[in-house]
Chain A
């Protein structure tokens, strides 16, 4: 089975620019997560979707970050405007559903803000 897909793999932008990341979860996985992994730290949850509804976005900086999962499949994460401290790897993960135990991660998008 195909894994979690993410694009682009790398992105370099200047501060105050906008950027968008795309994630396609494993087929049939209802729950999708976006994590931010700053260099030297463990991943931190930004937002969690159940189908196309938001379950948890308490750690999402809503003044600059937004995310959507319109049809309950693919998801996009946007940053506008970007700040230097947004430089990180953005990981997408998915899980079959509430009763499942293991999250499967994509390869991540490495963002550098100059």
Chain B
């Protein structure tokens, strides 16, 4: 079974600075998807960024980018120019591409604190 590990329970960053959230995963599959989801306090979970394992190029979405190291099974999220609105729980998630069992396997999350 696939597992996802987020070793940083909490991270802090100042506005305008850069922060990196770590994620490692374990799988025997060669093709899969990886996601970072953001969950603000008492608000719904929204997708931040997605990476397909077959793509070597790291995904980027505005201030958010990933460092995908397939051999190391590492998938970190970099947030540049941090804003107060970035404060939230961030979850790393894994999904197999095949078949109908497309459930997401989540890590335990990293709480990001952003200070002025």
Which A positions have Cβ atoms within 8 angstroms of B? 3-4, 31, 33, 40-45, 48, 50, 55-56, 91, 95, 98, 101-108
Q: Which residue of A lies closest to B103 (CB)?
A: A45
Stretch at the interface among B14-22, B40-48, B65-73, B75-83: B40-48
> Is B47 touching A33 in the complex (CB atoms < 8 A)?
no
CB contacts (< 8 Å) of A40 on chain B: these are 108-109
Asked if A43 and B100 make an inter-chain contact with CB atoms under 8 angstroms apart, the answer reads no
The CA of A41 and the CA of B50, in the complex, are separated in Å by 21
State whether A43 and B104 are in contact (beta carbons under 8 Å apart), knowing that A102-B47, A105-B44, A106-B44 are contacts in the complex.
Answer: yes
In the complex, the answer to whether B43 meets A107 with C-beta atoms within 8 Å is yes
**Which B11-44 residues have C-beta < 8 A from chain A?**
33, 35, 37, 43-44
Q: Are B102 and A43 touching (Cβ within 8 A)?
A: no
Q: What is the bound-complex CA distance between A46 and B44, given in angstroms? A: 18
Interface residues on B, range: 20 to 34
User: What are 17 A-to-B residue pairs whose CB atoms are below 8 Å?
Assistant: A31-B102, A40-B108, A42-B4, A42-B108, A43-B45, A43-B91, A43-B104, A44-B106, A48-B101, A56-B103, A102-B35, A102-B47, A102-B50, A104-B47, A105-B37, A105-B46, A107-B44
- Tell me which of B52, B93, B103, B107 has the highest count of chain A C-beta atoms within 10 A of its own C-beta: B103
Cα A43 to Cα B108 with chains together (Å):
8
A101 neighbours in B (Cβ, 8 Å): 33, 50, 52
In the assembled complex, the CB of A80 is this many whole angstroms from the nearest CB of chain B, namely 24
Tell me if A103 and B108 are in contact (CB < 8 A).
no
Closest 6 CB pairs of A and B: A42-B106, A105-B45, A107-B44, A45-B103, A55-B100, A105-B44
